[in-house]
Amino acid sequence: MYIWRKRVTTDWLEQRSEDLLRRFGTALAITEQLGKARTSMEVSCETRKEALQVRRELGGTIEKLRTDWLEQLAKQNRTKPLRIGSRLIVSRTRVPTAKSPRTIVIPAEAAFGTGEHATTAMCLRILERITRKRIAGWSMLDAGTGSGILAIVASCLGAKKIIAIENDPLACSVAKRNAAANQVRNIEFRTGDVLTQKFRGKFDIITANLYSEILIAALPAWRRSVADDGRLILSGILRSQERNVITALRRNSFAVHERRRRGKWIALLAGLPGKKS
């Protein structure tokens, strides 16, 4: 297995994005920070010949993975499927070592969100990054909490007040159980529609891994509920829906600070204009 990498300009990516996605599909990973001159791209290739062909056509660099990469990946997936920065690990089972960062255990159950899906992983990594310099005690709304993973991670990263909403009673029950299993007790779980919920006060961070239509419909309410220096972390967005979501964000006075891509999925970080990420 080989990995092809390249940093490209926004114009270069825009001109080729459709062809790249059609050609490479989920083997293509793109991380883009709006306002930055360069965007990072990676493509996983089965053979050296394939990787060399991509490099001949598009430039960039290639890296050969170790021969037992699949075995190592499987081993990692058994113990630490997802490392969130240097502070947390999300796993299906407890990692038995004191040297590891704190491990959050999210078993694979009926509720969506073990951290392995691209949309969840992108949200988790954005959340970890933007909270590194936040003073503990911030607040968060998690709309469509699923397994509760984002809310649980937020508590471990320093959030004090967390409201997590889920319209599926079974998923909400699983999320509560996951929080209890991880000794997280400061999450208020609500069963209900994210579009009809009422809140007191404002949130420093709002996370939502939902269908684009729901994200767009909820933006006016979230504009009233987010703090002046707050952030929205949105995912569940297909690439074909990206433009509509960004247009809706701007219509509701949000600026897009960062855009991440993983295969056909998009994650966005947004905030009020003039506030840096």
Residue 103 lies in a domain: no
Residue 86 lies in a domain: no
Residues 23 and 125 in one domain: no
Residues 131 and 61 in one domain: no
Residue 111 lies in a domain: no
Residues 132 and 246 in one domain: yes
Residue 72 lies in a domain: no
Residues 127 and 24 in one domain: no
Residue 212 lies in a domain: yes
Residue 20 lies in a domain: yes
CA 239 – CA 70 distance, rounded (Å): 28
Residues 14 and 133 in one domain: no
Residues 44 and 134 in one domain: no
Q: What is the pLDDT along the chain (277 residues), one digit of tens a residue?
A: 788 888 888 778 778 777 888 888 777 777 665 556 677 888 888 888 888 888 888 888 988 876 655 555 445 545 445 777 767 777 766 655 555 567 777 766 544 555 567 898 899 999 999 999 899 999 999 999 988 999 999 999 999 999 999 998 878 888 998 999 899 999 999 999 999 999 989 999 999 999 999 999 999 999 999 999 999 999 999 999 999 999 999 999 999 999 999 888 999 999 988 655 5
Sheet containing 82-84: give its strands across: 82-84, 88-91, 102-105
Which residue range forms the structural domain that includes residue 190?
A: 117-271
Residue 85 lies in a domain: no
CA 223 – CA 80 distance, rounded (Å): 36
Distance of alpha carbon 105 from the chain centroid: 17
Residues 148 and 53 in one domain: no
Residues 168 and 259 in one domain: yes
CATH number for the domain harbouring residue 257: 3.40.50.150
Residue 100 lies in a domain: no
Residues 124 and 189 in one domain: yes
Residues 38 and 157 in one domain: no
Which residue reads 């009926």 in tokens?
Answer: 110
Residues 6+ apart with CB under 8 A from 273: 253, 254, 255
Residues 15 and 138 in one domain: no
The secondary element (H helix, E strand) that includes residue 43 is strand 38-45
Residues 61 and 121 in one domain: no
Question: Domain tally for the chain?
Answer: 2
